[in-house]
Amino acid sequence: MGANHEENSLRYRRAQSVTTAEEITEKEKRARRSQFDRPCHKPRDSLFSWTSEFTNFTGLVNWGFLMLTIGGLRLCLENFLKYGIRVNPFEWIIVLTGYNEGKNYQYPSIILLMYSVVPAVISLLIEKAIAADLFTQKLGVTLQIINLLTEISLPVIVLNFSNQEFSFVGITTVCMIYLVIFLKLWSYCQTNHWCRNGTRTKKSKSLRRQSLSAPNSNALVNAEQDQNSDHEKTDDMMGIVKYPDNLNLRDLLYFLLAPTLCYELNFPRTTRIRKRFLIKRIVEVIFGMNLILALFQQWMIPSVKNAVDPFSQMDVVRITERLLKLAVPNHLIWLCFFYLSFHSFLNLMGELLHFADRNFYNDWWNSRNIAVFWSTWNMPVHLWAVRHVYIPITEMGYGKGLAGIVVFFISAFFHEYLVSVPLQMFRVWAFLGMMAQPPLSVISKFVERKLGVRWGNIIVWSSLILGQPLAIMMYYHDYAIAHYTPK
């Protein structure tokens, strides 16, 4: 009896065994605090536990930046000691001005860039002809498709079937501009098609209502006409443009220069230009371009050249070492290019043109899986794909999965277009890399669901850091074999 009584007393004095700290009841907490043993313990989780809800890791972030800075300085010193100072601003001028193209005072890249306005004007003329009933809608759509296909094919045709010499930067710029114009004109034609169908549907409904013979229907029609006239007066007072009043050269040129790929008849506009904001963006563009070119010359080009032999010999260990070594400068340049393009340059154009929608990117760095990354890092392309490809396909009755595959197929095709055309060699590495994104998205979602958001985000960063340099190494290897190997 005495032993049992002592065991029970010990059991009552001991805290209740629980799985997590939150399961301890408030009643037991009060009971413990009422004792005379001066308790100093309370339910708490370790700070690195997810259940602790601790979020202030500023010191660790500072430590991480310091370690990255020290590692970056060491890599810079190693690069300078191994290759010397390779930065040469005079080469930048030669490359950017297309000096190699101007041997006979002919600059084919500049000529093609000037000609890029012609397909846009042709598209405007076709739209005006359709609106004036000079063309049937079927004929007009056919002509627009031919115009778009001719526009995107022109750099390929000129590059392969002419004797003109293009610089790599020149033809790359041409392909990029022509692709942007292609996407803009696609949006321009499709949006005007929506407006045209909507206007005709509205008119046909109005005519049907006016043809009603019932007495009450006339009063209803008159009321609707008065309401429509009120809406029209309000729109006129607010300066709202309606179809087909938008079909003019000034409206088209504004859209071609605006930092968006999706056409609207009435873009949101700002009232003034912020001079301080504009100056900051100009400085960032100038500094960012010089920084990217310097990193290419000093760091990227030597690393890529040194990767040719391991690929030729298929030495897996050396290929891995080259890949990891190339990943750092490539990723740094990619981050600089992202900031330069999506923040500095697009905000610069938006400020100059009073364009109010500056949502050029979302927090892609927090992406929990690959699908979230592709829907947040490049908002102009994402909005274009959703508005002009994804939604129209689903509205036709097809599934979302098929619509997503079509979006990635179009993206993969144009990624390959931007690489293979300037290099003048057809490879499928960029195409396959983009088409690998849907299955990789499924894998990252599975990892996110099973292991948590953090591991899904690690998958995203790993694909960005390692995927791009692998593609660069393969393209440069094929280019070097094709152009520099003695025959």
pLDDT band at 436 (very low <50, low <70, confident <90, very high): confident
pLDDT score of 243? 84
Could you tell me the residue ranges of all domains in the chain?
Answer: 107-208+222-267
Q: Which is higher by pLDDT, 26 or 449? A: 449
Give residue-wise pLDDT tens across range 15-31.
444 445 555 566 677 77
- Give residues with Cβ within 8 angstroms of 108, minimum separation 6: 101, 158, 162, 164, 165, 166, 170
Q: Which of 10-19, 72-81, 420-429 is most confident?
A: 420-429
**pLDDT at residue 39 above 80?**
no
Pick the closest to residue 358 from 340, 343, 375 (CA basis): 343
pLDDT score of 95? 63
pLDDT band at 13 (very low <50, low <70, confident <90, very high): very low
pLDDT band at 8 (very low <50, low <70, confident <90, very high): very low
Cα gap 386→400, rounded to integer Å: 11
Give residue-wise pLDDT tens across range 203-258.
666 656 555 544 555 554 555 555 555 555 555 556 788 888 889 999 999 999 99
Q: Where are the alpha helices (DSSP H) in 2-56?
A: 2-13, 26-33
Q: Which is higher by pLDDT, 3 or 265? A: 265
- Active-site residue, 231 included: no
3-state secondary structure of 269: strand
Asked if 181 and 256 touch (Cβ cutoff 8 Å), the reply is yes
pLDDT score of 72? 74
Q: Which is higher by pLDDT, 260 or 49? A: 260
pLDDT score of 466? 82
Mean pLDDT computed over 284-308: 80
**pLDDT at residue 299 above 70?**
yes
**pLDDT at residue 147 above 60?**
yes
pLDDT score of 68? 76
Q: Which of 118-122, 285-289, 329-333 is most confident?
A: 118-122
**pLDDT at residue 112 above 80?**
yes
Q: Which of 41, 331, 343, 415 is catalytic?
A: 415
User: Which of 123-127, 155-159, 229-233, 326-330 is predicted with the least confidence, judged by mean pLDDT?
Assistant: 229-233
Residue type, position 154, single letter: L
Residue with tokens 């129209």: 392
Local structure of residue 355 (DSSP, 8 states):
B
pLDDT band at 161 (very low <50, low <70, confident <90, very high): confident
pLDDT score of 14? 45
Q: Which of 70-84, 335-349, 466-480 is most confident?
A: 335-349
Q: Which is higher by pLDDT, 138 or 88? A: 138
Across all residues in the chain, what is the average pLDDT? 79
Beta bridge partners of 389: none
The CA–CA distances, whole Å, from 47 to 23, 40, 42, 56 equal: 18, 18, 14, 10
pLDDT score of 15? 44
pLDDT band at 12 (very low <50, low <70, confident <90, very high): very low
pLDDT score of 423? 81
**pLDDT at residue 40 above 60?**
yes
**pLDDT at residue 289 above 90?**
no
Q: Which is higher by pLDDT, 97 or 378? A: 378
Cα gap 207→223, rounded to integer Å: 14
